[in-house]
Amino acid sequence: GVRQAVQLKRHTAHGGQVMEKRILSAEELMPEYTELLKAGAELPLSVSGASMLPFLYPGRDAVFLKAPSGKFEWGDILLYRRTNGRYILHRLQKIRDDGLYFAGDAQDVIEGPVLPEQVVGTVTGVRRCGRYVGRKSPSWLFYKYVWRLSLGRRGRMFTLFRRIKNTFGRKK
């Protein structure tokens, strides 16, 4: 699920300040976060799950979100809320009359339909490996257009990559 690290400034009894880092759950974060998006803010969100591998790594990467415009195109990365209340960040695979269909970049199964009203944010860019990656960058376009063709074969591809890495990777 969605989690976010935030920096909190706390005043000490002696007049000093201490910075604390706290992880917020989706239940704590998302009500105010979605209101800020609706008000026009563009906000960062740390990636916490592995479903968007290999494009986005949990704990390392972050996305920048803005409120959805209502106009979606396949390949967009969107934050939506499932009917069970969980927030999910996945790539849009299909747009049909009955709704939107999604899959994470590491997944072979398409989820949907998701109603457009369930979408709470559109990814405008990402911080990947510490560098900004925009929607027109080569790596973004690779995952949008080329990686999409791997749907249905990703599990086997990850197994093959892992075997190659274990066989030919650096020995400690």
**pTM for the predicted model, two decimal places:** 0.81
pLDDT at 41: 94
pLDDT at 105: 94
State how far the Cα of 36 lies from the Cα of 39, in Å rounded to an integer.
5
pLDDT at 155: 81
End-to-end C-alpha distance for the chain, whole angstroms: 34
- Which residue ranges in the chain fall short of pLDDT 70? 1-15, 17-22, 170-172
CB 61, CB 129: distance < 8 Å: yes
* Residue found by looking up tokens 């989820």 in the block: 111
